C-alpha cells in the first residue's frame, strides 16, 4: 500500500514538473529552433528528467565512470543498453549535452509529446526507410557541429533485462561521421518500470560510462566487429553491476 501511494505521488509530481517546465521549454524551443544542434532545448529536457527523478523516493540513481575529457569540444555517438522507460531519466544525469534519437510514438502522446517536440530530440519511425534516412541526416548534422548523439542500438527495450542484438545504425553513423563511440552500461532501471507495466518500482539504478571506442581508420566493413565489441563491453559491465549493485 505504501509503495502504491508513493507511485501515485511520483506520477503526480511528474505531471506537475511537466506542467511547470512545458511553457519554458516551448519558449526555448521557439528561440533556438534554427539551431541544428538543439543544445539548449536538450539541456532543458535533461533538467526535467533530473528534477522529476530526484523528487521521487522510489528511484535512487547513480553515475559511475569518467566522461571523456574532450566531450565538451567534440562529438561522440553515445550508445547504451535499454532496460526501461526509466532509462532516459537515469541518463539525464550524465554530465554532457547530447541529442537523443527517440521513437516517433513518444512525440504523439498528449502533453508529453509536446515535451519531446520542444526537447530538440530526433524522432524515428522504426522500419520506415524515409524516417531512418531523415533521422541519420539530423544526427550527422549534430555530430558535424560538435554535439553528441544518444542511441539505443537494441532498438527497443528488453523484456527480461538481458541485452538484445545490437543493430548497425549507430556504428555506421559513427564511422561515417568520423567520431568515437562512447558506451554506457545501464543496470537496475528494469526494476524502476518494467516493460508492459505502469507500476513504478522501488529500485537503485546505475549508468556506468565506459572507455570510448575509436573509429579512426574504420570503414563500413568494420561495423560488425565494432558493434559486437561494443555490445560485449556493455554486457561485461552490466554483469559486474548486477553482481555488485550500488547501495
Going by pLDDT thresholds of 50, 70 and 90, the confidence category of residue 87 is very high
- pTM equals 0.92
Domain that holds residue 106: 2-243
CA torsion 52-56-58-59 (nearest 10°) is: 40
Tens-place pLDDT, residues 13-39: 999 999 999 999 999 999 999 898 999
Which residues neighbour 99 within 8 Å (Cβ) at sequence distance 6 or greater? 37, 38, 42, 120, 121, 122, 138, 139, 142, 147, 148, 149, 150
With contact defined as beta carbons under 8 Å apart, do 55 and 42 qualify? no
CATH number (domain holding residue 109): 3.40.1130
With contact defined as beta carbons under 8 Å apart, do 88 and 46 qualify? no
pLDDT for 155: 84
**Coil vs helix vs strand at 54:** helix
The total number of structural domains in the chain stands at 1
pLDDT for 39: 95
Q: Could you say which DSSP state residue 113 is in?
A: H
Rounded Cα gap, residues 79 and 127, in angstroms: 19
Strand partners, 209: 184
Rounded Cα gap, residues 203 and 59, in angstroms: 5
Tens-place pLDDT, residues 153-184: 998 877 777 899 999 999 999 999 999 999 99
Closest CA to 204 of 243, 234, 158, 246: 246
Amino acid at each position: 500500500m505504501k509503495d502504491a501511494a508513493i507511485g501515485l505521488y511520483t506520477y503526480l509530481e511528474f505531471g506537475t514538473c511537466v506542467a511547470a517546465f512545458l511553457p519554458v521549454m516551448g519558449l526555448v524551443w521557439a528561440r533556438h529552433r534554427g539551431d541544428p544542434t538543439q543544445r539548449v532545448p536538450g539541456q532543458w529536457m535533461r533538467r526535467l528528467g533530473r528534477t522529476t527523478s530526484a523528487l521521487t523516493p522510489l528511484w535512487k540513481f547513480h553515475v559511475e565512470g569518467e566522461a571523456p575529457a574532450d566531450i565538451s569540444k567534440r562529438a561522440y555517438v553515445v550508445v547504451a543498453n535499454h532496460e526501461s522507460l526509466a532509462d532516459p531519466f537515469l541518463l539525464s544525469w550524465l554530465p554532457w549535452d547530447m541529442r537523443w534519437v527517440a521513437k516517433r510514438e513518444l512525440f504523439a502522446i498528449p502533453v508529453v509529446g509536446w515535451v519531446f517536440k520542444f526537447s530538440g530530440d530526433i524522432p524515428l519511425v522504426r522500419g520506415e526507410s524515409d524516417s531512418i534516412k531523415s533521422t541519420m541526416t539530423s544526427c550527422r548534422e549534430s555530430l558535424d557541429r560538435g554535439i553528441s548523439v544518444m542511441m539505443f542500438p537494441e532498438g527497443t527495450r528488453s523484456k527480461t533485462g538481458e541485452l538484445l542484438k545490437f543493430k548497425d545504425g549507430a556504428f555506421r553513423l559513427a564511422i561515417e561521421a568520423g567520431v568515437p563511440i562512447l558506451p554506457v552500461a545501464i543496470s537496475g532501471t528494469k526494476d524502476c518500470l518494467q516493460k508492459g507495466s505502469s507500476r513504478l518500482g522501488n529500485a537503485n539504478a546505475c549508468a556506468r560510462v565506459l572507455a570510448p571506442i575509436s573509429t579512426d581508420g574504420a570503414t563500413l566493413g568494420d561495423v560488425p566487429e565494432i558493434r559486437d565489441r561494443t555490445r560485449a563491453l556493455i554486457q561485461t559491465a552490466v554483469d559486474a553491476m548486477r553482481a555488485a549493485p550500488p547501495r
